[in-house]
Amino acid sequence: MAVHFSRDDDDVETHDINVTPFIDVILVLLIIFMVAAPLATVDIPVQLPSSTADSQRRPDKPVFLTVKADLTLAIGEDMIARASLPAALESATKGNREERIFVRADRAVSYGDVMEVMNTLRSAGYLKIGLVGLEARDTQK
């Protein structure tokens, strides 16, 4: 509150609020938050623990669909043509579209080719698809 004294007998108080310190404090807080916000989102490398969940019960006779390096397909041990994949799956699963299909692909097969096979499975009505791979042995400890 500012007080203005005059030489006259008229003592008049002026009621002006000085907002300059308030603006300075707000600007300092803004700068602090602008600097601190990016630091709060830094990725931290973490080594996650391995899973201790119980393994799922394996089906009695799982259906394996293999994609070989030359892009030929096999159900179990039987080679099949790509065009006859839905019919071969129908006979292998006995018409049960809820049965999980395990897809094994050679390392040389591209991701696009595996996705093409999976899209064929989806269009045939088989939505439960599992990808099969080798367990990696952790040699670094």
As a whole number of angstroms, the distance between CA 34 and CA 5 comes to 44
Model confidence pLDDT, tens digit, residues 86-135: 999 999 988 888 888 988 888 888 989 999 999 999 999 999 998 887 76
Higher pLDDT, 106 or 6: 106
119-124: long-range pairs with CB below 8 Å, 24+? 120/82, 120/85, 120/86, 121/65, 121/85, 121/89, 123/86, 124/85, 124/86, 124/89, 124/90
Measure the CA–CA gap between 103 and 119, rounded to whole angstroms. Answer: 12
CB 63 within 8 A of CB 89: yes
Q: Note the pLDDT of residue 138.
A: 54
State the average pLDDT over residues 36-59: 62
pTM of the model: 0.55
The rounded percent of the chain whose pLDDT value lies above 70 is 72
Residue 101 CB neighbour total at 10 angstroms: 22
12-23 tens-digit pLDDT: 677 778 888 899
Residue 111 to residue 97: CA distance in whole angstroms = 24
Q: Are 81 and 71 contacting, i.e. CB atoms less than 8 angstroms apart?
A: no
